[in-house]
Amino acid sequence: MRLTMPTGTPEGIPLTVMTFREDAVIGTMSLAALVRLVPSPRQEEDPRALKTASGHDRRRAELRATVQRTLKSQKGKNIPDYAEYIAAGVLGKHGSAWSTPPITLWHAGEVAAMSDELVAGSGLRTLTVAPDAMVIAIDGETQTTAWHDIYRDPEAFGLTYTELGRRVRIPFELYIGISPADARQIFYDRNVKGVDVAKNLAMSMDQRDLATRLAYTVGEKLEVESDGERMPFAKLVNAGKRQLTKTDKEVVTLSALRALIVTTVFGAKGVQYSAANVNEGDLPSHTDADEVTTVVVRLVSRLIEDRFPDFARRSAITAPAVMAGLGVLLHRATPWCAPHDAMSYDTVERLLADVRWEREPVYWDGVCASVGATGRLNFSGGVKDSAGRVAGALLDPHSELGRKVRGVRG
C-alpha cells in the first residue's frame, strides 16, 4: 500500500494582496510576517552566520548579493537613525507627519498558492508564500533592516511586541517569478532613474526643523501689499522650487527665505545650516527658541517690509546667496550677537540704503552671480559659495565688492 501526500491548503504565510500587473501585487503585512519572509540583511552578510547556515539560506544570501548593495555602504550608516525614526513614528511622537515608502520585494520562483478574487472585480486575493520561498528586498532594504533591529529588541526603542503587533502594518509591493536580471533592473531604475531632491529644498519642507518653522511663521505673520491687495507674505513664497521662473507669481523661494533665517540666527556660521537641520539645542548660547523666534521674526519681517518693492520685482535681493548674506548682516542686530560685532537696526538700514539691487552684471557679477555665454546674469551660485562675499560687500561699503554692489566707481 502506498500513501499519497496531503493535497489541502498549501502551508506558508498568507498575504492579502491586490494585483496591479500580471507579475506584481501590492498589500500590507505585519512586522512578524516581514521578518519571517525576509531575513535580516545583517545576518546574510555575516560570514560567521553563513558558515553555519543551511544550504538554502546560503543560496538566498548569494541571490540577494546579485540585486543589492552591501550594508558596508552609506545605507548601513543610515539604519540606526532610520530605526529611531520609525520607532518614534509608531510611538506617536511624530503625530501624522511621518511615513515610510512601501518595501519592494522579489519572490523568486512561483508562489505556493493564489486564491480567486475575494470580491469579484476587486483584484483582491490571498497569496500564500511558502516557508522556504526566497523573498528578497530589492528596494527598501535599509528600512527592512531597521524593522529587523526594532523587532529584535523592541524595548530598546521604547516598544513592546504587543504594540508592534497592534500598531504596525508594513506596505509592500511584491514582484513574482521575474528573473534575477529583471530584479537587478528594478533596483537600478529605483535608485538611478529618480531625480534627487536638492538638500536645501528638502530642508524647506521639514516641519521639525526650527528654521523652516520660522520661515513659515514669517510668511504667515507678515502682511504686504502686492498689486493693490493686502495679503500674507506666505502667498508670495514658493515652497516647491529651488529657483523661480518668469511665470511664477511668487517673489522668493522658501529655501531662500530659510537661508535668510539661519544666517540671521547664527551669523556667518548659519551658512552650514542651509542644508542641515536646526534643533533647539543648536541655538546660540544664552538664548532659547522663544527668544529666537520673537527676535528673528521681527527683524526678518521688518527687513522684507522695508524692502518689499525690491522683493516684488524679484531683484537680486531674492537670490538665495544674497538672502543669506543679508542674514549675516541682520545677525548683527540680534541681542545674542558678539558685542564687538553688534549694531543697531538703524545701522543695518544705512548699510543697505545705497545697495543697487538690479540684476545687472555691473553690480553682482563676481559677487554671487556670473555672466553666461548668452550674456545673461546667472544667480545660480550656491549659498555656501557666495554668501560670505555678499555679506562682506554689504558690511564694508569701502571694499572693492562693497563699492561694486553700490555702483560706486573705483
Per-position DSSP letters for 128-175, written without gaps between them: EE-TT-EEEEEE-HHHHHHHHHHHH-GGGGT--HHHHHHH--EEEEEE
Whether residues 122 and 164 fall in one domain: yes
| pLDDT score of 276 | 87
Q: How many other C-beta atoms lie within 10 A of the C-beta of residue 63? A: 17
Region of residue 267 (left: phi > 0; alpha: psi -120 to 50; beta: else): left
Distance CA 224, CA 214 (A): 18
Q: Is the pTM of this model over 0.75?
A: no
Predicted pLDDT at 5 = 67
Q: Are residue 172 and residue 254 in the same domain, yes or no?
A: no
Let me know if residue 52 belongs to a domain. yes
pLDDT at 327 over 90: yes
**Contact by Cβ (8 Å): 157, 47:** no
Task: Write the CB contacts of 253 (distance below 8 Å, at least 6 apart in sequence).
Answer: 201, 204, 237, 238, 239, 241, 242, 243, 244, 320
Question: Given pLDDT bands bounded at 50, 70 and 90, which one contains residue 405?
Answer: very high
- Domain-located, residue 231: yes
CA dihedral 29, 31, 32, 35 (to 10 degrees): 100
Question: Would you say residue 178 has pLDDT above 70?
Answer: yes
5 lies in some domain: no
User: Are 189 and 228 in the same domain?
Assistant: no
Query: Domain check: are 390 and 362 in the same one?
Result: yes
Q: Residues 323, 375: one domain?
A: yes
Is residue 252 within 8 A of residue 304, CB to CB? The reply is no
* pLDDT (0 to 100) of residue 382: 77
Q: If DSSP codes are grouped into helix, strand and coil, which group holds residue 286?
A: coil
Give the pLDDT mean for 296-319.
Answer: 96
What is the rounded average pLDDT for all residues in the chain? Answer: 90
Q: Is residue 7 part of a domain?
A: no
Identify whether residues 140 and 207 lie together within a single domain: no
End-of-domain residue from the set 138, 165, 194: 194
Q: Residue 56 — pLDDT band, cuts 50, 70, 90?
A: confident
Domain termination residue (choose one: 194, 223, 242): 194
Rounded (10°) CA dihedral 118, 123, 124, 129 = 110
- CA–CA distance, 132 with 12 (Å, rounded to integer): 9
Query: Are 162 and 100 contained in the same domain?
Result: yes
Task: Decide which of 160, 194, 228 is a domain's last residue.
Answer: 194
User: Which grid cell sits at 259?
Assistant: 537661508
Q: Is residue 45 part of a domain?
A: yes
Question: What percent of the chain lies above the pLDDT cut of 70?
Answer: 96
Question: In angstroms, rounded to a whole number, what is the distance separating the alpha carbons of residues 148 and 127?
Answer: 23
Same domain? 150 vs 257: no
* Residue bearing cell 537696526: 345
**Which residue range(s) make up the domain with 188?**
13-194
Q: What is the pLDDT of residue 195?
A: 72
Q: What pLDDT shows up at residue 3?
A: 67
Residue 338, CA distances (Å) to 267, 289, 308, 334, 342 in order: 10, 18, 29, 9, 6
Please give the torsion angle defined by the CA atoms of residues 299, 301, 302 and 308, in that order, rounded to the nearest 10 degrees: 140
For residue 132, tell me if it sits in a domain: yes
Residue 196's pLDDT is what? Answer: 74
- Residues 67, 84, single domain; the answer is yes
pLDDT score at 69: 79
pLDDT of 221 > 90? The answer is yes
User: Do residues 382 and 362 both lie within one domain?
Assistant: yes
134 and 214 co-located in one domain: no
Looking at the structure of the chain, the number of domains it has is: 2
pLDDT > 90: percent of the chain: 66
Residue 8 in domain = no
8 — pLDDT class (breaks 50, 70, 90):
low
277 in any annotated domain: yes
Q: Are residues 119 and 27 in the same domain?
A: yes
> Which has the minimum average pLDDT: 72-76, 93-97, 109-113, 350-354?
72-76
Residue 384 pLDDT exceeds 70: yes
395 pLDDT above the threshold of 70: yes
